[in-house]
Structure 1
Amino acid sequence: MSLHVRPARPADAAAMSAVLIASITELCHADHGDDPARIAEWTANKTPAGVSAMLERSGFYLFVAELDEQVAAVGATTADGEIALNYVAPAARFRGVSKALLTHLEADLVARGFATGRLKATATARRFYLAQGWAGDAMPDGRMACSAMHKPLI
C-alpha cells in the first residue's frame, strides 16, 4: 500500500469531486439523514466545476491523499488557520488515509504560522477528531449539528 499526500492540481478536480460526493453521500448519514434535499445542498459545490473553483480560490489550500496512486481523500486549509475539508473515499476508510491527511493539514497550518488549529466537525467526523487530540463541544451550525473544535499544534 502506497500513501502519499500532496497539493491538489486542476487535473484532480473530477477525482476530488467523486471522493467528496461519495464520502458525503455514503458516510455522513448521521448528518444528512439520507434526505435527498440535504445531500443535494451539501454536494452542490462539490462537482468538478465546483472543485475547480475551489482550486482557484485565494487563501484556500487543497490537498489530496493518494492511496496506490488514486485520489482517496480530499482536504483543505484556509489562510485564517482552519481545516475546511477532510473527506475520505468510502473504500479508503479505516486504512489510515484520513489520519495521514489530517497530519498533513495540521503541518500545513503550522507552516503557515498557526499554533492552534480550528475546524468544524460533522457528527460523523467528531469521534475521529477527538481520537486525534482535537477538543470542542457540539454546537448547531445551520441545518447540521457541528462541533467547533480546536487543537494546539505546537
Structure 2
Amino acid sequence: MCENLWMQIRDAIPEDTAAACAVLRRSIAELCEADHRNDPYTLARWLSNKTHENFRAWVAQTDNSVLVAVEDQHILAVGSITDAGTIGLNYVSPDARFQGVSRALLRALETRAAEKGNNRCNLTSTETARRFYLSNGYVENGPPVGGFTTTSGYPMTKALPSLIGKT
C-alpha cells in the first residue's frame, strides 16, 4: 500500500497477530502514561481487548481495515479504520516513536478511508496523541468522552481530499 526506502505499510494478516498485539500493548503501557497514569486497573482495562483472538477478528472483519507498518519483517505500528472512515487503532512501537511511522500510517489509513468513499475521517484521541492529531489537520468536534483511561478521549475529525481524477 505505501512504501519507502525503509518501511512498508500493508494490510495485516493473521500471522501478524503476536507481533501486532505486542506493539499495541507496549505502545499503550509505555507511551500512554498521560492517559493511564500508571494505574494498574485502568491499564488492565485498556489492554483487556488487545488479545490474539480479538486481533484476528479485527483482521477478518469485512468492514474494517487493519494496517501494519513493517520494516525488515518487524511490525512498527498498527492501525485500523472502518469502511465508514472511523480510525479505531493507531499505535506505534516505543522503538519506532518519532521516526515518522505514525504519520505514514495515519496517511495510509486516511487514503484507505478515501478509497472507500469517505470525505472525512473520525477518531477519538487519547491525551497522549491529541497534539499529534491536531498537527495532522484534525480538529476537535465535540466534548471529551470517557473511555478506558482516567482522562477523557477527544472526538476529532478531518476532511479528506477527494481521490476523483487522481491516479
Of residues 31, 39, 43 in structure 2, which corresponds to 1:27?
A: 31
Return closer, same or farther for 1:42/1:143 CA change in 2, 3 Å cut-off.
Answer: closer
Preserved CA contact (<8 Å) 2:46 2:148 = no
Does structure 1 residue 147 correspond to structure 2 residue 154? yes
Q: Tell me if 1:47 matches 2:51.
A: yes
- Paired residue for 1:80? 84
Contact 1:19 1:71 in 2 (8 A): yes
Corresponding letter in the other structure for 2:145: P
Q: CA offset at residue 116 of structure 1?
A: 1.0
Q: What amino acid maps onto 1:27 in structure 2? A: L
In structure 1, what residue type is equivalent to 2:90?
N
Partner of 2:9: 5
Which amino acid in 1 is paired with 2:146?
D
CA displacement at 1:117 relative to structure 2:
0.9
Cα offsets for 1:126-154 (capped at 9, x unmatched)? 00001111110551224531110011111
TM-score by structure 2 length? 0.87
Q: Structure 2: how far apart are the matches of 1:52 and 1:133? A: 31
Map 1:92-131; keep pairs closer than 5 Å.
92-131=96-135
Identity within the alignment, %: 42
* C-alpha RMSD of the superposition: 1.3
- Structure having the higher strand fraction is 1
> TM-score of the superposition, structure 1-length normalised?
0.94
Give the gaps of 5 or more residues in structure 2: 162-167
Q: CA deviation at 1:42?
A: 0.8
1:35-91 C-alpha deviation (Å, 9 max, x unpaired): 111111111111222211222223121000013331000000012211111000000
Structure 1 runs of 4+ aligned residues shifted over 4 Å read none
Larger radius of gyration: 2
Give the number of aligned pairs: 154
